[in-house]
A and B are shown apart, each in its own frame.
Chain A
Amino acid sequence: MSWETVVGLEVHVQLLTATKMFCGCSSRFGDPPNTNVCPVCLGLPGALPVPNEQAVWLAVRAAHALGCTVHPRSSFARKNYFYPDLPKGYQISQFEEPLATGGKLEIVSPERGPVTVRIKRLHLEEDAGKSFHDRVPGMTAVDFNRSGVPLIEIVSEPDLRSPAEARAYLTTLKQVLKYVEVSDCNMEEGSLRVDANLSIRAAGSPELRTRTEVKNMNSFSGVERALAAEGRRQIAATERGEEIVQATMLFDAAAGEVRPMRTKEEARDYRYFPEPDLPPLVLAEKWLASERAGLPELPAARRERFAKQYGLAAADAAMLSASRALADYYEAVVRGGVAAKDAANWVMNDLLALSPGGERLPLPPGRLVETVRLVDGGRLSRQAARRVLAGLAGAPEAPALEVAERLGLLQVSDGGAIAGWVRETLAAHPAEVARYRAGEAKLMGFFTGQVMKKSHGKADPKAVNAALAEALKT
């Protein structure tokens, strides 16, 4: 029997706010433990939460970017459970009335091609503190810097059919959220976290069977591996005739295995109820409409436009629109007067070579445009341009021309100097000149090489060719 896996993902994303969800403490990552704390995020007796407007705004933006309906009225709720790093004994979240519902994300499945994944809901919540079980021997240390940091939870429908598809969804989701500058989606720093729900069924069957929840996945590849492991486990169990029980599974990345954490009988009852400290979140319809209209162009739209408007191949359009910064860069180079396809080559081949991971673009687009102009004008060879760009990457303050000069890379296209090198070359190789004149045309390359050598590589090859052709004519 052939099986397919059915996966839905719950993704927690930290919003790019300066301060926490319900107090004025900094939400910065990596500060010394328990330095960004106050009575509110420590849950001291008598402290009260006040919502962060910026967080609401970013959450609305994320919801619009994912095509969700943002509700003019939503409400906060308390999710109650005891844990040492949860200072109030409850997390402020949203439950019955989430901020947004009913969105979708278009992804490219490695197996099925283009797929639409439905987004069930998107809601706002606060993060808990962080427990460290390995810092102090025999004790658990708790850092409350993260307590109260704003998050959105994005819940997909069970529309994913394989671990690789789940990964594609995450990659696309991260791209969109970074595009609209809602989150940096940095999984290492915990600003993007994934829980998965997985069940199996006979391939092509419409049924939804008992699912398990998989947690503790620390990278996109970890998600893929964990889901593959859990899928295998469920298939093996089902084929042995065992019933799948609703459970929470923990992924052990080192062992590549999933292990049960708790079963349904032990499932927590979070006793959700409306948060009485916060009035309903009411957003003006007019404001929501203007927010929706003001959304930046999303990666899919930009990819299509690049292909159409600039005549780029699909793969190139995808690469250049991968991040908002890169796409903006590319368009700035085009606006600078470089032909669209040339610009694509320069950006993809030369610029990205200088930018490991494409995370930080090393020089402003204006400097790249200057460099391209020097090449087009014969002042710089294509080869030398790479070195100029590398020089600019270290110090983009100086114009490209200055850097090329400093590096001694400017080409000589001055006719007098080239004519002299040509004369000397031809005089030094009379036999080759005779053979050339007798019809051995391929010797042109030899002459060019000799002239270039004399010029120490600085002569403009085009000008050299022209001068040689002229000199050999007679």
Chain B
Amino acid sequence: MTDFVRAARQAAQRIAAAEAKGTHAFLAWSEAALLEQAERLAAAGAAGPLAGEVVAVKDVIADALFPTTCASKILEGWRSPFEATAVRRLREAGAMVAGKTNCDEFAMGSSTEWSAFGPSRNPADPARVPGGSSGGSAAAVASGAVTMALGSETGGSVRQPAAFCGVAGIKPTYGRVSRYGLVAFGSSLDQIGVLGKDVASAARLLGVISGRDDRDATSLDRIPLGDPAPASRSLEGTVIGVPAEYFPAGLHPGVRAASDRALARLKDLGAELRDVSLPHTKYAVPAYYIVAPAEASSNLARYDGVRYGLRADGGGGLADVRAVYRATRGRGFGPEVRRRILLGTYVLSAGYYDAYYRKAQRVREAIRADFTRVFAQGVHALFTPTTPTPAFRFGERTADPLAMYLSDVYVCTANLAWVPALSLPIGRDQGLPIGGQLIGAMEAESTIIRIALALERAVDATAEVR
């Protein structure tokens, strides 16, 4: 038995065990598919940087081996004829794809409760959501099924579930990882991200999938990031900004305690902490909920029942194509996706474009300028909590979209500004993981990864913070 086959068998056992606990991290996986990949790798004598690793892939990322449903009824059973560039790269690096992970439908949501195929559970507390939209990937890592996973972000969808589940998650600079094969939600915000059992695992995966891709015109013309440098014991000379806007008076006490402790550790490591301000932070969620739905309303127009995916005719046959559109989209899309398509269609409509979309783009530039200014003043990274609260309970926020949206208040700024950011576990509150966020300047992934590796060693993320 080759090492690859052994790794595949062991992974299958771990996934089966984790899923048997009701995690529902995966929408599709099979031991047969793992073994098939293992044999192919063995035959090719693969010896890449991820040789024998098993990676779970969020279901909004195309792969020819499994269906790509985006956790939506409208794409139920859809098999992409091609694989995403990120998936191709991880396979070329010797890794196997474990399967496709659950998420909110078309990555729209913060809890996986909007998956058309049922939510995933938080391995830390099965009564709570794993976060989202990449909740399945975060739960797959947290449950021990895999050590690394691909997720995707439009507004914090990797970092927020990473924080909720107690794993590491990195959202790279916009353009760092090819979006080719990532099913589009908000194209100017979308970016494939990585999750890992620790910062190094996530960073290794990022190192392999990053780099210029000619199939994505927005991809940065940069070589792959490669393996991260080993963790340093000192952060001497590193300036870490602490933005006041991310630490409001009413911040959850557990989140505050964990953040304070992490900041103290950073100081112990020799970093200089500096109070900074990002004054446009308060406009991030409103701007995000204009830009992302606007782009989504256009990106999701292709699911019309004509060429692939679900087709419904509403009982009137196919003669009236508009009736087919209405029936297909009405039945195929869940409530959150429909809400965002309506919202996006509205803000792009004649007479409203200037008031909403154009204004939101201006806000976005102001948010980006906030970051640029702070990083130009010698700050190497910003430290903030990843989420305002730990993981919430099922059903707690589905009736109140705004409450759901606000769980992304600290993470969506980095998407709007295109800067890299990561979340790492920094402690627990009543057993629930708390995440700390590091935000870097454009293309400064290495800087935030270096700081995160040092902080990860210095902080006991399994310890209660109060």
Using a CB–CB cutoff of 8 Å, the interface residues on chain A facing chain B are 39, 42-51, 78, 80, 82, 84, 87-90, 139-140, 142, 269, 271-273, 276-279
Contacts and interface: CB of A to CB of B under 8 A. Distances in A.
B304 A89 contact: yes
A49 B345 contact: no
Interface string B212-233: 0011111000000000000000
B182 to A, nearest CB: 6
A83 to B, nearest CB: 8
Given A82-B325, A87-B307, A45 B216 contact: no
Given A45-B183, A46-B183, A273-B353, A84 B321 contact: yes
A46 B182 contact: yes
Given A271-B345, A273-B348, A48 B215 contact: yes
B234 interface: no
A45 B217 contact: no
Contacts of A44: 80-82, 308
B187 interface: yes
A48 B216 contact: yes
Contacts, number: 100
Given A44-B80, A273-B294, A276-B188, 9 more contacts: A51-B217, A78-B298, A82-B304, A84-B321, A89-B298, A271-B345, A271-B348, A273-B353, A276-B295
Given A42-B307, A46-B182, A273 B81 contact: no
Contacts of A43: 302, 307
Contacts of A42: 307
Contacts of A78: 298
B181 A46 contact: yes
B349 interface: yes
Contact of A47 (B70, B180, B294, B345): B180
A276 B416 CA distance: 13
A45 B78 contact: yes
A84 B62 contact: no
Contact of A90 (B81, B181, B298): B298
B84 interface: yes
A278 B218 contact: yes
A46 B214 contact: no
B184 interface: yes
A279 B349 contact: no
Contacts of B353: 271-273
Nearest to A39: B82
B176 interface: no
Identify the 3 closest CB pairs spanning chains A and B, nearest first.
A89-B301, A276-B188, A276-B187
B450 interface: no
Contacts of A278: 217-218
A139 B350 CA distance: 34
Contact of B68 (A46, A89, A139, A272): A46
A75 to B, nearest CB: 12
B75 A45 contact: yes
B308 A88 contact: no
Interface in B59-115: 61-62, 68, 70, 75, 78, 80-82, 84
